[in-house]
Amino acid sequence: MSATSTIKQNGKPPEAIGSSYADARRMHIEREAAALKQAASMSLLAKILAATLALAMATIALLATQPKRIPVYVAENAQARLGVVGSSPGSTTPSANAMRASLAQWIENARSISSDPMATKERQRKVAAMVARASQAERYLADYIRPATR
């Protein structure tokens, strides 16, 4: 018996169209092809995500090594006006309008009381961040805010 005669059954090869063997084999090949295609797309996605992660880590490392600059140093003079004391290298001096706007925003945050307690606490947090600890201004603000929050 030759190899071809053992494969043939009833004079037809098992791969004949319409045979259950051919259908099962075709289905197996299609499943394998789909699995290989999915594996290739997942591999590409993994490479893209790894590149994105590497770029993000490099960016974070670069930003972490940059010096932190305080753009402008200000102080209150005898007439209770803010004046520029100095600036860090590479910064620009703010205009009088910008300083007025920042001060107006700070005063608005200090004086505003909302019906929403979370909004009020957030404004108070912003105000407290701009006041020196253990200063006369901090004590004044604490006395001003305390009755409003009771």
List pLDDT tens digits, range 118-149.
Answer: 888 888 888 888 887 778 888 888 887 776 55
Residue ranges of the domains in the chain? 3-65, 72-149
Lookup: tokens for 61:
């490392």
- The residue-averaged pLDDT of 90-96 equals 70
73: confidence class by pLDDT, cuts 50, 70, 90: low
CA distances from 81 to 75, 77, 78, 98, 131 (A): 8, 6, 7, 14, 15
Residue indicated by tokens 């001096």: 93
pLDDT above 90 covers what percent of the chain? 20
What pairing do the DSSP bridges indicate for beta strands 82-87 and 72-76? antiparallel
**Strands, E assignment, the chain:** 72-76, 82-87
Q: What is the pLDDT of residue 116?
A: 87
